[in-house]
């Protein structure tokens, strides 16, 4: 199950050859447009491409963006029947204006207020119905109002009772609510922000990591560190540093989605947490070579591991 902020990612591609006479901004001559699944929907797509059967649970509006979103989900064979429609909020949409393979500007259409209790109850009801067949739950929190502290507590309690592996891609504002989960995957900026410290060296990284793990009473903590790779902290006292597998970096958009998807997919298939973290690191190395949100296939992932394996 994937619970979180479902989004539509739109890309407007073009070229720039002049500056506007109206203001000191570039004029983008539009050549093409495309829409992609974003946020929690991109997490579900990552799982689908790896061969899993994701159930996407979230909220969309009653608007043209939701129709595009559901059309994309149908094309990718991801069920949309457990999405909750909220007439009072738009479908979160991020539109990126791209020129010469670079992002010029981004526009966001969204409502980041917390969902109503009525909508939260509908989400919880869907989770209860789908949990019997699930092996894991991913909570993809982008801070768009879907993940509320109250819903989060009920969902984590339910998942723990069901014995599900619970993975969280966190938002800083809810960090203290992600208690007793299986793994939480902040990047080093998020981890440092929560701890009130800038992670500038190995010593601070380790202090921040162990303190966060202990305060959340989590089973593990995976801090992603950009070009420095990842660091996996485990409750049993083991710390594993994983060097980056990336050779070229074009766009980190959606890399966190790929990391948590590959990790949970691997654990669900029987991998140890360390093995899953290594696999997710290789998966991230593939997608950041693409522009925009991307996914890694089994074939691409195996090829990446064979080419760059340090074992």
- Tens digits of residue pLDDT in 219-278: 999 999 887 889 999 999 999 999 876 555 444 455 788 899 999 999 999 999 999 999
**Residue pair 144/110 in contact by the 8 Å Cβ criterion:** yes
Integer angstrom CA distances of residue 225 from 37, 141, 194, 287, 290: 25, 19, 15, 16, 19
Q: What is the mean pLDDT of residues 189-201?
A: 92
Rounded Cα distance, 244 and 221, in Å? 17
Other beta carbons less than 10 A from residue 234's beta carbon: 18
The three-state secondary structure class of 105 is strand
CATH fold group of domain 2-15+32-308: 3.40.1190
Task: Give the number of other Cβ atoms within 10 Å of residue 28's Cβ.
Answer: 19
* H-helix segments, the chain: 40-49, 64-75, 117-130, 149-161, 188-195, 202-216, 255-268, 273-287, 298-308
Q: Is 264 exposed, middle or buried (0-12, 13-18, 19+ CB in 10 A)?
A: buried
The catalytic residue positions are 257
CA 108, 198, 250 angle in degrees (round to 5)?
Answer: 50
Residues of the chain above pLDDT 70, percent: 94
26 φψ region: left (φ > 0), alpha (ψ -120 to 50), beta (else):
beta
The Cα 219–Cα 235 span in angstroms is: 5
3-state DSSP assignment of residue 153? helix
The β-bridge relationship of strands 92-99 and 102-109 is: antiparallel
CA distance linking residue 107 with residue 11, whole number of Å: 10
Q: Would you state the pLDDT for residue 61?
A: 96
Domain ranges of the chain: 2-15+32-308
Concatenating the DSSP letter of every residue in 159-226 gives HHHTT-EEEEE--GGGGGG-TT-SEE--BHHHHHHHHTS---SHHHHHHHHHHHHHHHT-SEEEEE-G
What pLDDT, in 10s, does the model give residues 35-83?
999 999 999 999 999 999 999 999 999 999 999 999 999 999 998 889 9
Rounded CA-CA distance 22/20 in Å is 5
pLDDT in tens, 154-182: 999 999 999 999 999 999 888 889 999 99
Q: Which residue has the tokens 């010469």?
A: 100
pLDDT higher than 90, residue 294: no
């Amino acid at each position: 199950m994937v619970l979180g902020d479902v989004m539509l990612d739109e890309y407007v591609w073009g070229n720039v050859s002049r500056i506007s006479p109206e203001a000191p901004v570039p004029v983008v001559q539009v050549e093409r447009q495309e829409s992609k699944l974003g946020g929690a929907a991109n997490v579900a797509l990552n799982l689908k491409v790896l061969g899993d059967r994701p159930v996407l649970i979230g909220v969309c509006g009653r608007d043209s963006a939701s129709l595009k979103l559901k059309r994309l989900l149908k094309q990718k064979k991801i069920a949309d029947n457990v999405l909750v429609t909220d007439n009072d909020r738009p479908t979160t949409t991020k539109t990126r204006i791209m020129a010469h393979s670079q992002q010029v500007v981004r526009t966001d259409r969204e409502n980041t207020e917390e969902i109503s209790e009525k909508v939260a109850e509908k989400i919880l009801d869907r989770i209860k119905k789908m949990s019997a067949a699930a092996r894991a739950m991913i909570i993809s929190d982008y801070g768009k109002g879907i993940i509320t502290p109250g819903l989060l507590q009920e969902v984590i309690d339910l998942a723990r009772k069901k014995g599900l592996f619970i993975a969280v891609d966190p938002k800083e504002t809810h960090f203290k609510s992600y208690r007793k989960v299986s793994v939480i995957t902040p990047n080093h900026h998020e981890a440092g922000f929560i701890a009130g410290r800038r992670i500038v060296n190995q010593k601070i990284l380790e202090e921040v990591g162990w303190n966060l793990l202990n305060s959340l009473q989590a089973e593990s903590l995976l801090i992603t560190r950009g070009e420095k790779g990842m660091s996996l902290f485990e409750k049993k006292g083991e710390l594993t540093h994983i060097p980056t597998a990336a050779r070229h970096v074009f766009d980190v958009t959606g890399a966190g989605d790929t990391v948590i998807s590959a990790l949970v997919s691997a654990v669900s298939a029987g991998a140890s947490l360390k093995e899953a973290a290594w696999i997710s690191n290789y998966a991230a190395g593939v997608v950041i070579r693409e522009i925009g949100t991307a996914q890694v296939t089994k074939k691409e992932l195996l090829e990446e591991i064979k080419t760059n394996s340090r074992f």
